[in-house]
Amino acid sequence: MIVPKSDLKSAAQKRWDVVVVGAGNAALCAALSARESGADVVMIEAAKPDQRGGNSRFTDGAIRLAHGGLPDLRSLIPNLTDEEAARIDLEPYPIEAFVNDMMRMSGGRTKENLAIRLAEQSTDTVRWMLSQGVEFELIFDNQAVREEGRYQFWGGLVLRSVGRGVGLTDRLFARAKHLDIPIVYGNAAVGLLREGPTITGVIVGPSQIQFDCGAVVLACGGFEANPELRSMHLGSKWKNVIVRGTPYNTGGGLTMALEAGAVQSGDWTGCHSVAMDQGAPEFGDFAIGGDIFKKHSYPYGIVVNQNGQRFVDEGADFRNYTYARYGRALLEQPGGIAYQIFDQQVESLLRSEYFGKNSTGYESPSLQALANQLDIDQKAFLRTVTHYNQAVQNKAYVPHVLDGKGTKGLSPPKSNWALRIEQPPFRAFPVRCGITFTYGGVDVGEGGEVLDDGGAPIPGLFAAGEMVGGLFFNGYPGGSGLASGAVFGRISGLHAANKASQNRNV
Ligand SMILES: Cc1cc2nc3c(=O)[nH]c(=O)nc-3n(C[C@H](O)[C@H](O)[C@H](O)COP(=O)(O)OP(=O)(O)OC[C@H]3O[C@@H](n4cnc5c(N)ncnc54)[C@H](O)[C@@H]3O)c2cc1C
C-alpha cells in the first residue's frame, strides 16, 4: 500500500507500533513478521516505487540454508517432479556445515552465536518465506553440472527464489500489500527520535516529518553506495568502483544507529566485491532488474592482469566461496582491471552472462591474436599461459567436486579444475571490481536489538540485513546475504512487535 505524498503528514500523525526503515529483503521480512505478530507497521523507503527492493532486487535470489538433502528440500520446491528428482545428486548440508562455512570464510572471526542462529533458523525461515508467497527452485544452471544425464550439485548452495531477486521482492511486496502494510516511498529516514535512552520514532525526508512508534527496525543497508564512506573505511581505491546494486544504500541507517549509541561490529574495512564486466554501469540498473554484468566463471580459466600475470588461485575453492574476495584482488591490479581467459573446452560451463549482448569479450583463433586485442603486456601474457600449461597436472577433470587437478610449481597455484588453455577459439573478458555490500555493521542481541558499547540493548531499536555486523569478514559463503536478511529480519520484526506491545500496555 503506497502512501501518497499528500498523505505523508497524516500517516505521521498516528502512533505506529513499528516503523521499519528500508524496503529490501530484510526490511520486508521484518515488516511481515511484525505484522503477523499483531503490530501496526509502516515502512519508510528512500527509493521511489520503480527503484524499490534495494540490493535484494538485484540478487540471483540464491539463498543458503541448512538441509538434509533432496527429500528434505522437496517440500520447499513442490514443483519438482519425481522424474526430475530421480536425476539429481545433492548432498545434505547440515547446520554444522553452514556454521563451518561461515567460520572458515572469515578465518574464525565471525561471531559464532550469529552464525549458529543464522544456520539453525535458515530452513524454518525459508519455509516461512514460502508461506509468505515466495516460491523457490533448485539452481540447476549455476550450482549444478550436468553429467551423463544427471545433475550434480556443488558448493552447499542449491536454492533460489523463482524470478530471482525481482521475484523474491515482488512476492514480499505483494504480501505486504495483502497485509495492508503502508509504504512511504521516496523519503529517506534521516534521524531517530528518542526520549531518554529509548528510541521513540523516526525523522523522515527533507521535511523532517516525525513518525512516532513503539519500536524501530533499521534495515536500510550498508554504505556501499557512498563513495566518501567507502573511501574512509575501505581505503581510497574504493572511491571509484562499480556499485552492483542500489544507489540508495549510503550508510544512513548505520549513521543513525551509531548516533543513537550503537556499537560498531564486524569488519568495517571489508566488503563483498566481485569481478564485473568492464562496461558495467556505475550502479545497478533497476530497468534491467538483475545483475547481468557479473563474471563468475573464472574457476574454469585463468585471470591475468595488464602485466600479463596471474594473481589469484582461480581454483582455490568453489566459486561461491571465493568470488566475494576476488573483487578486492582485482582492484589491487594495475589500472584496476584484469582479463578472464578461457578456451573452447569450458565454453559449456560459462554462465549465460558471458554470452549476453551487454557482455564485453574478445574471441580469437590463437592466443597471439587474442593478445593483440587486449590492453596487456603481450609477451608476458603468452609466457604466463605457456608456464601455466606446463604446470598443469594430468588428473581427472571433474567440475562439480574439488577435483585436485591443479598446477605444480606455479605461483599462485591453480588448485582445482586446471585444464590447459590450448583449444581454440580462445576468449578474454575484461573485468573490474564491483562492490556488492559492506561488512561493517552494528552489534545485535538475540532478538535483533541494537546493542550499545556496554552490550546493553538500546530500548526500541532493532537492526537487520546488511546492517548487522559480525557475520562476514574477508570471505563470504554465497547465498548468505539473503539468508541473513530473512533470518534476522524476521527475528527483529517479531521482537520489535513484542517491544511495541509492551510499550502499548505500560
Ligand atoms: C548484484 C547483487 C547480487 C546479489 N546476489 C545475491 C544472491 O544471489 N544471494 C544472496 O544471498 N545475496 C546476494 N546479494 C547480497 C544481497 O543483496 C544482500 O545481502 C541483501 O539483499 C541485503 O538485504 P537488505 O535488506 O539488508 O538490503 P537492501 O535489499 O539493499 O535494502 C535496503 C533498503 O534500504 C533503503 N534505504 C537505504 N537508506 C535508507 C534510508 N536512510 N531511509 C530509508 N530507506 C533507505 C534502500 O533503498 C533499500 O531499498 C547480491 C547483491 C547484489 C548487489
DSSP letters for 278-320: TT--SS--TTT-S---B---GGGSEEEETTS-B-S-TTSS-HH
Stretch 381-391: mean pLDDT, rounded?
A: 98
Ligand 1 contact via 60 beta carbon (within 6 Å): yes
CA distance 448 to 490: 9
Report which protein residue has its CA nearest ligand 1's atom 4: 59
Stretch 353-369: mean pLDDT, rounded?
A: 96
Ligand 1 contact via 291 beta carbon (within 6 Å): yes
Give the pLDDT confidence score for residue 10 in this predicted structure.
Answer: 78
Ligand 1 contact via 306 beta carbon (within 6 Å): no
How many percent of the chain have pLDDT more than 70?
99
- The pLDDT tens digits of the residues spanning 300-337 come to 999 999 999 999 999 999 998 999 999 999 999 999 99
Ligand 1 contact via 253 beta carbon (within 6 Å): yes
Confidence tier at 385 by pLDDT (50, 70, 90): very high
- The pLDDT tens digits of the residues spanning 399-456 come to 999 999 999 999 999 999 999 999 999 999 999 999 999 999 999 999 999 999 999 9
**Nearest atom (ligand 1) to Cα of 52:** 49
The SS3 assignment for 43 reads: strand
Q: How many CB atoms lie within 10 A of CB 193?
A: 18
Ligand 1 contact via 168 beta carbon (within 6 Å): no
Ligand 1 contact via 463 beta carbon (within 6 Å): no
Q: What is the 3-state secondary structure (H, E, C) of 370-408?
A: HHHCCCCCHHHHHHHHHHHHHHECCCCCCCCCCCCCCEC
**Nearest atom (ligand 1) to Cα of 23:** 49
Ligand 1 contact via 487 beta carbon (within 6 Å): no
Confidence tier at 380 by pLDDT (50, 70, 90): very high
Write down all domains in the chain, each with its CATH number in brackets.
Answer: 5-57+167-271+439-505 (3.50.50.60), 62-166 (no CATH), 272-434 (3.90.700.10)
Give the pLDDT confidence score for residue 506 in this predicted structure.
Answer: 57
CA distance 47 to 45: 6
Ligand 1 mutation target, pool 28, 59, 143, most atoms within 8 A of CB: 59
Ligand 1 mutation target, pool 220, 223, 258, 480, most atoms within 8 A of CB: 220
Q: Is the peptide bond before 457 cis (omega within 30 degrees of 0)?
A: no
Distance 506 CA to ligand 1 centre (A): 36
CA distance 202 to 193: 6
Burial class (CB in 10 A: 0-12, 13-18, 19+), 180: exposed
- Output the CA angle 312-100-130, nearest 5 degrees: 105
Residue 483, H or E segment = helix 480-505
pLDDT at 464 over 70: yes
Distance 466 CA to ligand 1 centre (A): 7
pLDDT at 475 over 90: no
User: Model pTM?
Assistant: 0.96
Distance 329 CA to ligand 1 centre (A): 23
| CA Rg value for the chain | 23
Q: In the chain, what's the furthest Cα-to-Cα distance?
A: 77
430 has which bridge partners?
Answer: 339
Please say whether the beta carbons of 389 and 420 come within 8 A. yes
Cα–Cα nearest to 216, from 46, 55, 42? 42
Q: How many CB atoms lie within 10 A of CB 69?
A: 15
The SS3 assignment for 219 reads: coil
Report which protein residue has its CA nearest ligand 1's atom 18: 481
Cα–Cα nearest to 25, from 57, 62, 63? 57
Ligand 1 contact via 59 beta carbon (within 6 Å): yes
Give the pLDDT confidence score for residue 342 in this predicted structure.
Answer: 98
Confidence tier at 505 by pLDDT (50, 70, 90): low
Please say whether the beta carbons of 119 and 66 come within 8 A. yes
Give the pLDDT confidence score for residue 12 in this predicted structure.
Answer: 82
Q: Which of 7-11, 99-103, 211-215, 368-372 has the lowest mean pLDDT?
A: 7-11
Give the pLDDT confidence score for residue 11 in this predicted structure.
Answer: 80
Q: How many CB atoms lie within 10 A of CB 5?
A: 12
How many percent of the chain have pLDDT more than 90?
92
The SS3 assignment for 103 reads: helix
Q: Is the peptide bond before 424 cis (omega within 30 degrees of 0)?
A: no
Stretch 500-506: mean pLDDT, rounded?
A: 76
The conformational region for residue 349 under phi > 0 = left, psi -120 to 50 = alpha, else beta, is: alpha
Q: In this structure, what is the dihedral angle of CA atoms 339, 56, 476, 351, given to the nearest 10 degrees?
A: -40
Report which protein residue has its CA nearest ligand 1's atom 32: 220
